[in-house]
């Protein structure tokens, strides 16, 4: 029997690699002859560089950048020296995981550090840049990022040196004449897992602001600010920005990259699966085990599971998750045979995020699943 394991991380708990290893270990404890093919999965957020490194041999570049609150930290990105290709995770410079709970507030975070990573890659001669947009702590429409690359931003009091979410409503002018000229010769590819517009009830602030620490009042303020920036960018670049799917990714960083870099917005899971020759790896598979931390309404809209289902509909697919809040029948209709929540009894969020507890729950469900398949 051949099983392909392609599970996204359970955020704040277990990485894709850790979950894959747990599943493999427990499958082999039941049947030592089972063939397990592991694909490390990410969707543009933290873990994207690690996932791509499984299939691409690139060098890791160290770089000192500003974290979301302006503190200098050491970050990294991947670089293919011969091909001049950079693979950058926004989360490694502007990620939510870089801040503790008390620091999380998108009014005060900036994407400037992400821009510094891009600048370093440009200075090293990059001709193609992949930028993963998941896991951000920001809602500055990517303006901090482009400031690091030469853009100047003004309100009625003068220049803003580091744009943060709280500044978006006050911005009157964006001067992009100083933007690094090299960007015109660089192919820029955005890796993201969402199709949200920039603003509105399905936009960056309303959908993702609360998980970054925003209250309802802050969400409204951020959404108004994104509307303001959208109007400015529409006028500058003669575009209809809010009609472009995915520009709401990472607090509007998708909009900034689309406008200033002429970037292409690609599905994160599709990029990962392409690099891993997914169709080739599942050719002789009897079962695909996929999953993510939470299966909800976002799952069917560009997330890992939906991406895998679209490319493996002829296969038996099982999905596991830390929590399931979506009607299983919707995913059943799309091609998933079975959906399992690993929580076997009522537990607290703290218990659910405990690595040892999660490992035990995954192990139990994998063994039960395998017994059922081989009944």
Q: Convert the pLDDT of each residue in 19-76 to its tens digit.
A: 999 999 999 998 889 999 999 987 777 778 888 887 788 999 999 999 999 999 999 9
pLDDT tens string 123-156:
999 999 999 998 899 999 999 999 999 999 999 9
Q: What total of structural domains would you count in the chain? A: 2
| The domain boundary residue, chosen from 269, 304, 336 | 269
What pLDDT was estimated at residue 347? 73
User: Does residue 315 share a domain with residue 257?
Assistant: no
Q: How many residues does the chain have?
A: 375
What pLDDT was estimated at residue 307? 85
- Please give the model's pTM, rounded to 2 decimal places: 0.85
pLDDT, the chain, mean: 91
- Span 285-295, average pLDDT: 89
Least confident range of 11-15, 88-92, 229-233: 11-15
Indicate if the pLDDT at residue 375 is higher than 60: no
Q: At what angle do helices 16-30 and 355-373 cross, to 10 degrees?
A: 40
User: Does residue 12 share a domain with residue 64?
Assistant: no
User: Does residue 218 share a domain with residue 79?
Assistant: yes
User: Does residue 136 share a domain with residue 31?
Assistant: no
pLDDT band at 302 (very low <50, low <70, confident <90, very high): low
Least confident range of 144-158, 244-258, 300-314: 300-314
pLDDT band at 325 (very low <50, low <70, confident <90, very high): confident
What pLDDT was estimated at residue 275? 87
- Span 346-368, average pLDDT: 83
- Span 258-262, average pLDDT: 96
* Beta strands 72-80; 59-66: pairing state: antiparallel
Q: At what angle do helices 268-275 and 304-311 cross, to 10 degrees?
A: 50
Indicate if the pLDDT at residue 332 is higher than 80: no
User: Does residue 142 share a domain with residue 19?
Assistant: no
CATH number for position 95: 3.90.1510.10
User: Does residue 254 share a domain with residue 299?
Assistant: no
pLDDT tens string 192-244:
888 899 999 999 999 999 999 999 999 999 999 999 999 999 999 999 999 99
User: Does residue 302 share a domain with residue 235?
Assistant: no
User: Does residue 24 share a domain with residue 102?
Assistant: no
Phi, psi of 155, deg, nearest 5: -110, -170
- 183-196 burial, b at 16+ Cβ within 10 Å, e below that, comes to beebebbbbbbbbb
Contact partners, residue 324, CB within 8 Å, separation at least 6 = 294, 295, 296, 339, 340, 341
What pLDDT was estimated at residue 151? 98
350: Cα separation from own chain's centroid: 23
User: Does residue 264 share a domain with residue 342?
Assistant: no
User: Does residue 56 share a domain with residue 184?
Assistant: yes
DSSP code of residue 14: B
Indicate if the pLDDT at residue 92 is higher than 90: yes
Domain extent, residue 261, equals 48-269
| The domain boundary residue, chosen from 222, 246, 269 | 269
């Amino acid at each position: 029997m051949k099983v392909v394991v392609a599970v996204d991380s359970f955020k704040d708990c277990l990485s894709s690699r850790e979950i894959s290893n747990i599943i493999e270990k427990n499958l082999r404890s039941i049947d030592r002859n089972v063939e397990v093919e592991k694909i490390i999965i990410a969707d543009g957020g933290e873990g994207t560089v690690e996932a791509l490194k499984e299939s691409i041999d690139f060098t890791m570049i160290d770089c000192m950048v500003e974290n979301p609150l302006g503190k200098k930290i050491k970050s990294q990105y991947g670089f293919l020296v011969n091909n001049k290709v950079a693979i950058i995770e926004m989360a490694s410079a502007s990620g939510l995981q870089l801040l503790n709970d008390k620091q999380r507030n998108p009014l005060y975070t900036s994407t400037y550090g992400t821009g510094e990573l891009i600048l370093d890659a440009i200075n090293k001669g990059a001709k193609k840049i992949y930028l993963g947009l998941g896991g951000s702590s920001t809602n500055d429409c990517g303006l901090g990022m482009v400031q690091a690359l030469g853009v100047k931003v003004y309100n009625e009091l003068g220049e803003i040196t580091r744009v943060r979410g709280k500044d978006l409503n006050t911005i009157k002018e964006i001067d992009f004449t100083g933007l690094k000229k090299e960007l015109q010769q660089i192919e820029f590819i955005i890796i993201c897992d969402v199709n949200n517009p920039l603003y509105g009830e399905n936009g960056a602030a309303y959908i993702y602001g609360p998980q970054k620490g925003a209250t309802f009042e802050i969400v409204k303020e951020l959404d108004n600010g994104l509307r303001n920036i959208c109007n400015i960018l529409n006028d500058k670049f003669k575009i209809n920005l809010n009609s472009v799917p995915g520009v709401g990714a990472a607090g509007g960083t998708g909009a900034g990259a689309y406008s200033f870099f002429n970037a292409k917005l690609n599905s994160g899971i599709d990029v990962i699966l392409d690099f891993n020759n997914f169709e080739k790896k599942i050719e002789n598979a009897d079962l695909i085990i996929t999953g993510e931390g939470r299966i909800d309404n976002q799952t069917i809209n560009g997330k890992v599971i939906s991406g895998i289902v679209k490319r493996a509909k002829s296969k038996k697919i099982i999905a596991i998750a830390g929590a399931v809040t979506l009607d299983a029948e919707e995913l059943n209709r799309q091609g998933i045979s079975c959906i399992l929540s690993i929580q076997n009894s009522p537990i607290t969020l703290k218990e659910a995020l405990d690595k040892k507890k999660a490992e035990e729950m995954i192990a139990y469900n994998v063994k039960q699943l395998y017994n059922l398949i081989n009944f």
